[in-house]
Amino acid sequence: MMTTDAVLRDPLYIAESWFAEGRSVAIATVIETWGSAPRPVGSHLVIDGEGNFEGSVSGGCVEGAVISEALDVIENGTPKMLEFGVADETAWRVGLSCGGRIRVQVERLG
């Protein structure tokens, strides 16, 4: 069972709270990983229409790209499937160590 503090930090709880406040919100979810990936399947990043965010789907440049795409999803309402994969020599620059790949679904709440 999660403690109250853990619930309050949960990205899905935060998304629900932001939505209840009238904010536009998108949820990004890691739906698949291959090789080494910083965050497991089921990890969430929530983004509001102002670019505020909580949670994590990866780190590094990947997270910045997901936030940018989420703002588009909030604007037009069309979900996006994003895939990030890199070769070992560039992995550290984008936040995926050891050549991992991830697939992230981004959708608008509401």
**pLDDT score, position 93:** 58
Which residue in 26, 15, 44 sits closest to 102, CA to CA?
A: 44
**pLDDT score, position 92:** 56
**pLDDT score, position 20:** 97
CA distance 90 to 86: 6
**pLDDT score, position 73:** 98
Q: What is the pTM of this model?
A: 0.84
Q: Are 108 and 23 in contact (CB under 8 A)?
A: no
pLDDT profile of the chain (110 residues), mean per 10: 68 96 98 87 97 90 92 98 72 58 94
**pLDDT score, position 28:** 98
Domain chopping of the chain, boundaries:
4-108
Q: Are 46 and 40 in contact (CB under 8 A)?
A: no
